[in-house]
Structure 1
Amino acid sequence: MAGGRWRDEELEGEIQRVRGAIQAWAEQHDLWFDCGFTDYLKHVDSEPGDPPVVTLLIVGGDLHNMFEGYYGGELENGFSRLLEDMGYWYENRDGATVAIYPEEGGALSARFQSYFHWQWVCSLIEEDTSDVYEELYAHFANRPEDLHRLHWRDFEVLLFRIFQNQGFKAELGPGSGDDGVDLRLWQRDPIGDVLTVVQAKRYAQGNKVNLTEVAALQGVADAERADRALFVTTSSYLPVARRFTARIERPLFLAERNDIVAWCAQAANGVVLDKSTLVSKGAVEKLIYEVAQKRDPRIVRARSGYNTTMNEFALVVKETKHAALLMGLSGATVSHDGFGQRGTEVPLLDGSTIGRLTGELVWRARRNVRDREVTYWDGRHLFYPWNGEPMLFDYVD
């Protein structure tokens, strides 16, 4: 740790130290069986909270029983003291995972927050979630130095999404063997689409783009018969490269880090925080009518509750390959035990449903496809297509 500042590799070493101490303690007490560790982002696939989860302890066997209170409080108190001595505390999340947190308010907690937020931002670099996740753009608008930390391919994908956000029809190149074109942009024009070819270079600030690279893009634009060319770098340009662009007839624009930062700020401001406004009321009313008539995979359900069984119903009102917007649905009771504590329910789809199209009841989720089954994960619940049958609920703990 240099000057009180934790470097990434030191944080990674600290995570391993904490994990090693926990495992050694559990083995010493013969509790380590069917246990392990995982990363919060890998397990939850969601934005880190505050305070951040340093690691997730996966518990099974006797260690699980300890957290469930089977052995009295002495062992669990010993576990708590172990963490406290290292500057950490824990929370039993759901009986199967235990979250380990750093002490709040300290420099280490703040540094872990920044470290895990960066990892989450990198996980957002997908090709089609640009109207849902404003945090991606806001991060680079506020911390432009992190542009240099991106993998070169992620930098290209980031630009691809920025240009999509600006209204261009964009095509992302293959990443290698692209013949000098990283992206192609088309802009609608009354006399025909305007094609711009883009070359992207993620360079250190001191590594300025030279004449040869800019002239090469001009040659590619000639070969592609492009209307315009755009060179984008996280660095800047040598004066000779700028003089070259001033002499040629075709527009060849040179963009640098400050331009990328401005684009990110513009994109972040353009992503609507109230997700309910991203879909029209008329379109949702039509969707509600359609799905109410039959079993439809756009009606989804998640199970929640610890020692209870609760249903979370939602309607997929918009989706792309990697993202979706869900609108929460109320449940309608089909049968119950006379007290409303146990029974079955279905999602409510009637004239009142459109009233749920509000900012509080429309939220984003990550869309995944595995073995041809589509699921939606919002950071708390995993939604599956509802099977059309009344679902059991049980509120008795």
Structure 2
Amino acid sequence: MGSINISRQTTVDLLTEFAGFKAGVVLTDVELSELLQDYDAVLSKKIVSEEIGGFRFHSSEFDEIAAHILYKLGNIDEPTAIPHHLRLYHKVKSDPIKLACYEHVMGCYSDFMRSVFADPPPYGTALDPEPFIRAAMKGHGKDGLDMAMEVIKGINHQLHISPHGRIRSRDWKDTADLESLFKSESLETMYGSFFDQRFIDYLERNFEKVGEIHWRKFEGLVGEFFEREGFRVDVGPGRNDDGIDLRIYPREQVEEIPPIIIVQCKRQKEKIGKALLKSVYADVLHEKSESGLIVTSSYMSPGAETMRVAREYPVEAADRDTLKTWITKMKSERI
């Protein structure tokens, strides 16, 4: 593997196209630079500097950059591009029994791939790994099966993160502009009811950004959580909503009933004070709801919490810590 000489603009174009195809997320050059900040601060600055004519990368370095971008987007669990079978070897090399199993499984994999190349399936057809798995189990049973599955998972991971191929773990039907997470009021998405799955994955990896997303997207995020928890969610108009952002109902509602929860969403740095608590309590009474919920990217102030408990208001707070738990629960299963 050699070095790659490439212009700055071509580097930006290749990496943003890669992110769009593999993760389904469209990046600006500034957003790309930000994602690379904790990978290489110097490279991050050069990406957006028009004074830089180009770069010289070793091919393996370019692969690492691509993997880091997917990791920062919440698309993969590990930022490394080191082949999985090498990492697996280093994990088992000190255990003679596991090492013997590893050598057997990798031998079976080599035999399997030789048979595939000798009689390749039609282009675009997925490979059936059953012969490899069955061979891996001979003499090693469940240990061989588990290691074979780990090898398959690692190979799929390598194919997905490679910037040199068109194989990806998910066939995205559209792309989502990361910029829209912070600037757009739209809640329309093909990958969620109110909030795009790709944005959930991004926030799970970059939770510090949750207080910066558009206020309407924040409402959509809360609605998405309750929808996935099995409730029917009525998301308000966003403006002129009389202070009620969401109304939560049982999924199977046989008659018109008041919402079981009314929700006020507050994407803000300041802590929730007594005035908002009183306002939500008044809305609970007016709506004849069972309870109220304040969802905030901050926390409830000590004074408001003391008042809530002392007056026994049927109002709860889902604070920043709770919000992080919700996002983690909703993140994608990754390869």
Class of the TM-score when normalised by the shorter of the 2 chains: 0.3 to 0.5
TM-score normalised by length of structure 2: 0.47
Larger RCO, structures 1/2 (Cα 8 Å, 6+ apart): 2
- Higher Cα Rg, which structure: 1
